[in-house]
Amino acid sequence: MNKELNDLIGLPFIDGGRDPAVGLDCWGLSTEVFRRYGIELPDYKISCEDASRIHSEVEEQRAGWRRCEQEIPVPALVVIRFTVYCDHTGVYIGQGRFIHTRKGLGVNIDRVDSPAWANRIEGFYVPEVRQ
């Protein structure tokens, strides 16, 4: 990993979690990883159970993000679709890997090309104005 993220691995998933000392949800983890790269992201307080509201927020905020079509930079937001909704995020950390957190698993690293994720990833994004 380009930045030290090992201390995040294994942290518990907590719906609405924004404190690495306690636990994180997927957006809390995404904001923490981007922060470690010097990029502040806005915060959204939406329960992980409210997939349609998460999807609506993703769609509303999409104008502030640039989709990465060719080379994926580090960090890049990984937008994931579990059902008909884009309702999960992670962060691309290079070498085909992304860090994310889920209920029952906590923070972990997976490959973007794994059978479990390849067809669920909607895209990779970076904020339009990088700090």
pLDDT in tens, 15-69: 999 999 999 999 999 999 999 999 998 888 888 778 788 778 777 877 788 999 8
Res 131 pLDDT > 60: no
For the entire predicted model, the pTM comes to 0.89
Closest of 36, 46, 25, 108 to residue 74, by C-alpha: 36
- Name the more confident of 65 and 2: 65
Exposure letters 93-104 (e unless 16+ CB within 10 A, then b): beeebbbbbbee
Q: Does domain 6-127 have CATH number 3.30.9.10?
A: no
Q: Which of 5-9, 47-51, 87-91, 111-115 is least confident?
A: 47-51
CA distance 80 to 56: 14
Q: Which two tokens stand for residue 50?
A: 């409210």
